[in-house]
Structure 1
Amino acid sequence: MLEVRNLRAGYGAVEVLRGIDLDVTRGEIVAVLGANGVGKTTLNKVLSGMLPLSEGSVTFEGRSLGGSPITAVDAGLIHVPEGRKIFPNMSVRENLELGSYRRAKPNRAKNLEHVFEVFPRLRERAEQAAGTLSGGEQQMLAIGRGMMAEPKLLILDEPSLGLSPLLVEEMFTLIRRLNAEGLPIMLVEQNVVQSLEIASRAYIVENGEVIMSGTAADIAADPELKRAYLGL
């Protein structure tokens, strides 16, 4: 579905991504893993059209996205950003409805009901101001808002960041469930161990480059990964 080739991008004269190649195919959870500051969020911004690429190509379902967030959303590539980016003074329901502003508006009521089935706590808090939710509930809201656009591919940027261990476990269970329902997911995370447990394939990014890629099982067993990320 998603094909990235020789992707280079950055901010002004500072190059952050230095020739990234990666693919996501239908039905997969693909993990993009790396420490803070290696370029993961920059990659997501380029894929969703919020940051221009300086070289290379991004193709989604055989079509160039052209560096436009409108084109990306209309094509069904939906990015749930790091830090949730909800609208705190709007209600939970209003935040969710905004998820279908560009895409899937005719199915808004049906998709809203589906989100409430997946996240019963959001149904309970539908009229509550989003800014008053807990961190875990705000992450549910951010993902639910993404689901409202009927994504063909969902990019999740650090969904476990700032959550308690119990909520992290719940979040990864949810990601597995969404994928089991047929939704391909690109999971961009610092949480290496749990990401590799649910992913089919993975890429390890360091200093703006992919330094390792393969099946999640092979990467999890790689001694270099254990040395670099797990301290073993």
Structure 2
Amino acid sequence: MLEVRSLRAGYGAIEVLRGVDLAVGAGEIVALLGSNGAGKSTLNNNVSGLYRPFGGTITFDGQAIAGAPSMRIVDAGLVQVPEGRRVFPNLSVRENLELGSYRRGRAARAKNLEHVLAVFPRLNERLAQLAGTLSGGEQQMLAIGRGLMSEPRLLILDEPSLGLSPLLVEEMFALIGRLNRDGLAILLVEQNVVQSLAIAHRAYVLENGRIALSGAAAELAEHPELRKSYLGH
């Protein structure tokens, strides 16, 4: 579905990504792993159309999308749930969710809302509550629910476990697995290496703007270099 080839990208004169290749197939969870500053969010934001790459190609379902307006990319079914949740704090939970179907999924808004509330029953209890008053875990649920309202065909999740308690991290990864089993392709961008490799089909490790390792998630989990760098043994 998504194919990134020789991607070079950054900000101003600073090149962050230096020739990145990455692909996500239909029905896959693909993990993009790396420490802070490795370039993970830069890749997300170029794929999502928030920035124009310096070079290389990005295709979604065979259509070139590098530099396309972000709204067109959402229209095609490629949706990002950004790092830090980015909910609208002064709008209600319901209003935040409905905004998710502003570009795509509007015709089935009521049905999609029902689906999201079935996935996240806690949000159903807080529909009238202002999003800014939710806990961190509930805001993450809301951010993902808002993404689901747009009927994504591929969902980019940027650091969904960031700032969550260990118990909520377990819940979050279980949820991601469930969404994938329902047929959703997911690009999971994470620092949590162990949990990500446990649910992903394939993975890439990004270091200093380049792909340092890639392969089947189960194989990478046993890779000595990855274990030394990220797991401490």
TM-score bracket for this pair, using the shorter chain length: over 0.9
* Cα distance in 1 for residues equivalent to 2:72 and 2:54: 18
Q: How does 1:12-161 map to 2 (within 5 A)?
A: 12-67=12-67, 68-161=69-162
1:114-158 Cα deviation digits (max 9, x unpaired): 000000000000000000000000000000000000000000000
* Cα distance in 1 for residues equivalent to 2:27 and 2:196: 16
* Cα distance in 1 for residues equivalent to 2:85 and 2:42: 16
* Cα distance in 2 for residues equivalent to 1:43 and 1:143: 19
* Cα distance in 1 for residues equivalent to 2:106 and 2:65: 21
Q: Equivalent residue of 2:107, what SS?
A: helix
Deviation (angstroms), 1:71? 1.4
Superposed structure 1 runs of 4+ greater than 3 Å apart = none
1:75-99 Cα deviation digits (max 9, x unpaired): 0000000000000000000000000
* Cα distance in 1 for residues equivalent to 2:164 and 2:152: 24
Q: Equivalent residue of 1:151, what SS?
A: coil
* Cα distance in 2 for residues equivalent to 1:199 and 1:46: 22
* Cα distance in 1 for residues equivalent to 2:206 and 2:27: 22
Partner amino acid for 2:126? R
Deviation (angstroms), 1:230? 1.0
Deviation (angstroms), 1:70? 1.2
* Cα distance in 1 for residues equivalent to 2:218 and 2:119: 28
* Cα distance in 2 for residues equivalent to 1:121 and 1:93: 12
1:7 equivalenced with 2:4 (yes/no): no
1:198-230 Cα deviation digits (max 9, x unpaired): 000000000000010000011001001011111
**Aligned residue for 1:172?**
173
Where do 5+ consecutive residues of structure 2 fail to align? none
Q: Equivalent residue of 1:187, what SS?
A: strand
Deviation (angstroms), 1:66? 3.7
* Cα distance in 2 for residues equivalent to 1:126 and 1:210: 41
* Cα distance in 2 for residues equivalent to 1:70 and 1:93: 22
Where do 5+ consecutive residues of structure 1 fail to align? none
Q: CA RMSD in A?
A: 0.5
Q: Equivalent residue of 1:106, what SS?
A: coil
* Cα distance in 1 for residues equivalent to 2:6 and 2:129: 45
* Cα distance in 2 for residues equivalent to 1:136 and 1:93: 17
* Cα distance in 2 for residues equivalent to 1:160 and 1:40: 15
Deviation (angstroms), 1:65? 1.2
* Cα distance in 1 for residues equivalent to 2:222 and 2:66: 37
Partner amino acid for 1:159? P
TM-score (norm 1): 0.99
Q: Equivalent residue of 1:155, what SS?
A: strand
